[in-house]
Amino acid sequence: MKGYANNILYINLSSGKTKTEPLGKEMARNFLGGAGFGIKMITDHQRPTTDAFDPENPIVYSCGTFSGMMVAGSGSKWGVAAKSPQSQGLGEAYSTGFFGAELRRAGYDIVMVTGKAERPSYIYLEDDSVQILDANHLWGKHNWDTEDTIKSDLGDPGVRVASIGPAGENLVRFSAIINDRLRAAGRTGMGAVMGSKNLKAVAVRGFNDVEVADVDGFKEFALEIYEKSKGPATEKYRLLGTAANVLTLNKQAAMPTRNWQDAVFENADKISGEALNEMHVEKIQGCDSCGMRCEHVGVVREGPFKGAIGRVEYEPSYAFGSCTGVDRPDAIIRAVQLSDLYGTDALSTGVVVAFAMEAYEKGIISKKDTGGIELEFGNAEGMCDMIEKIALREDIGDLLAEGVERAAAKLGKGAEKFAMHIKGVEMTGYDVRGLKTCALGYAVSRRGADHQRHGAYGPDLKGQVDRFKAEKGRGQLVIDGEDLYSVIDSLIICKFSRGIWDYDSYAKMYTLATGIPMTAEEMRRCGERISNLGKIYNLREGIGRERDTLPIRCMTEPIKSGIAKGSLVTREELDLLLDDYYETRGWSEDGIPSDAKLKELGLEDYAEHLRGLKRTDTKRKSGKKKTTKKMTKKD
Ligand code: SF4
């Protein structure tokens, strides 16, 4: 097989043993790379219901199909998957930079790590050489120091490093893995899984060629895509980056504000992409092989955060901006930098701090808990101080490091009503109360609260549907997005370039690169297969219909202002949307794939993973009182 390195590397940190196995054509063709490989590997190799911090919980690093190739927005991507310490379900995260390309050049498609090292360690891969090296001198260091020290120790600035900071070491449940300084595999706590294994970093250097099947055809098509990637479809990313969304979403009353107490931030103009660009952006750069170059690097030139540097995107502008009520771009840049250095998921971190701010304002926690910080909304310095306390588990930071779901359960006093999470993973920055298709996408998202599993805000915000209405048919829209994103996250192609691709072009590029024939329909089917396998994994781990839900606030407190004023998602609306989605998927009303669906997707071997789960196939009649069946396992 061309394109792929044709190698899976297994490393057991407990025994120090390593082995390789061939990738296999069936694995490549059915699961593509990235997300597909990660989900397949943890489903096959993880013992059911293993705790996320159990040494036997495998963590899987994978290349996208095109890692190491000159495919615009794809050449450097990589993914990571493991049982999530946040949801205790599917954990997956994707990053870019240069690490993915180096991993493929070193000769691996997948690296799976199990066990726990006796002492802090890091893995160094250099082509065929696999070493588990001492990381005692790195433990406690932040990510940038770690990267610099490893490069210096190995005497090679070309080494690429994916590492964890103190947050991962301290098992902060929403810890990220950071690579190439500013890039994060942020969501679902993959950094904490590394920490639980005493694994500080994976460093990689590769000198192999990456061969494609049809050199001329591939080159011609890759150049065509590259030229398109510099066209109008990606202009906003090149000019302002995703921070361009701040004013757009705020105008649509979809920018969650002060821990989702509202959806319009009165000072959005101060933290907009335009404002950041004018005042702070010093450099625009791109990942390996990318012509879009969306990376707007902000620098703080004066004031208390002077010298801070961070990548400015929409999501941190929401999490560290509107969600915490902070209207200072300098503080947002500093907060992003702290997340990169300590190694926390910036998104979850901002939402956790916003949760703490609301708890403080409601008198549930006090200055005694915060170590003297007056943690009101809008307190920029307090926000930054809290990030460090969370990463180091100091004061109330120790509880907040568990994430909002667990922290709310411990605090009580009604805190669960404003804990903004789905499946234990904190909400990303689209206020779903006035975006009903998107609300469904969030509720069923396999990795918890997320817009990146489906992109279902698109039909709502583009006016393709009535965004304020819950109705049948939304299930199909979410499914279309999910299966497409399963393909995108497996190939792995930057989502910012999705406007220049379609299933035909994905399939064409795949065949040119690998030599494996693939049609557009087969590619779509790969997406459906990967989406279904993700669901099977979650069901097996005990995550059923009751976890496909929304935060209590989204179902009980309407948006207070703007064009979405009065909007929320009622329990009845959510049930209607879920029923429609499950039925359209070919799943039971408990969300369990039918045997026919498994067979259709070549997943019949996984039927045994679902054995013992309830399969309530009787359809609910509309208007009838619904009883939600809790999914249970037979003893
Ligand atoms: Fe990287 Fe941005 Fe290019 Fe995507 S668009 S590959 S994130 S530089």
Residue 312 has pLDDT above 60, yes or no: yes
pLDDT digits (tens, 9 = 90+) for 506-565: 999 999 999 999 999 999 999 999 999 999 999 999 999 999 999 999 999 999 999 999
Question: In ligand 1, which atom is closest to the CA atom of 496?
Answer: 5
Which of ligand 1's atoms lies nearest the C-alpha of 72?
Answer: 6
The second-level CATH assignment, the architecture, of 432-497+514-633 is Orthogonal Bundle (1.10)
Give ligand 1 pocket residues (Cβ under 6 A): 73, 96, 237, 286-287, 290, 292-295, 494, 496
The pLDDT value recorded for residue 616 is 63
- Give the separation between CA 31 and CA 101, rounded to whole angstroms: 19
Residues with Cβ within 8 Å of residue 6, at least 6 apart in sequence: 22, 23, 109
Mean pLDDT of the chain: 94
* CA within 13 Å, CB half, 344: 40
**312 CA distance to ligand 1 centroid (A)?**
13
What is the CATH T-level fold of the domain 217-419, as seen in this structure?
A: 1.10.569
> What's the CA gap between 387 and 113, in Å, rounded?
29
Q: In a mutational test of the pocket of ligand 1, which residue from 182, 293, 452, 498 has the highest number of ligand atoms less than 8 Å from its CB?
A: 293
Question: Is there a contact between 181 and 143 (Cβ–Cβ < 8 Å)?
Answer: yes
Please state the rounded mean pLDDT for residues 297-314.
Answer: 93
Distance CA 19, CA 155 (A): 26
| Atom 6, ligand 1: residue with shortest CA distance | 73
Segment 9-19 shows an average pLDDT of: 98
Tell me phi and psi for residue 627, to 5 degrees. -115, 120
- Residue 622 clears pLDDT 90, i.e. is over it: no
- 404-450 pLDDT, tens per residue? 999 999 999 999 999 999 999 999 999 999 999 999 999 999 999 99
Q: What predicted TM-score, i.e. pTM, was given to this entire model?
A: 0.95
Averaged pLDDT for residues 316-329: 97
How many other CB atoms are found less than 10 A from the CB of residue 572?
11
- CA of 497, closest atom in ligand 1: 5
Distances (CA, A) of 494 to 28, 76, 88, 431, 537: 20, 10, 27, 24, 25
User: Residue 91 has what pLDDT?
Assistant: 98
CATH 3.90.550.10 fits 8-205, yes or no: no
Ligand 1 mean position to 247 CA, how many Å? 21
Give the residue-averaged pLDDT of 350-364: 98
User: At CA 279, angle to CA 277 and CA 284, rounded to 5?
Assistant: 40
Interaxial angle between packed helices 520-540 and 503-514, expressed in degrees from 0 to 180 and rounded to the nearest 10: 90
Token duo for residue 376: 């009101």
Domain range summary for the chain, segments of one domain joined by + = 8-205, 217-419, 432-497+514-633
pLDDT at 366 over 90: yes
Cα gap 575→584, rounded to integer Å: 14
The DSSP call for residue 604 is G
Total residue length of the chain = 635
Range list of H helices, 112-214? 143-154, 166-169, 190-196
Looking at residues 449-470, what average pLDDT do you find?
Answer: 96
Burial degree of 372 (CB within 10 A; 0-12, 13-18, 19+): exposed
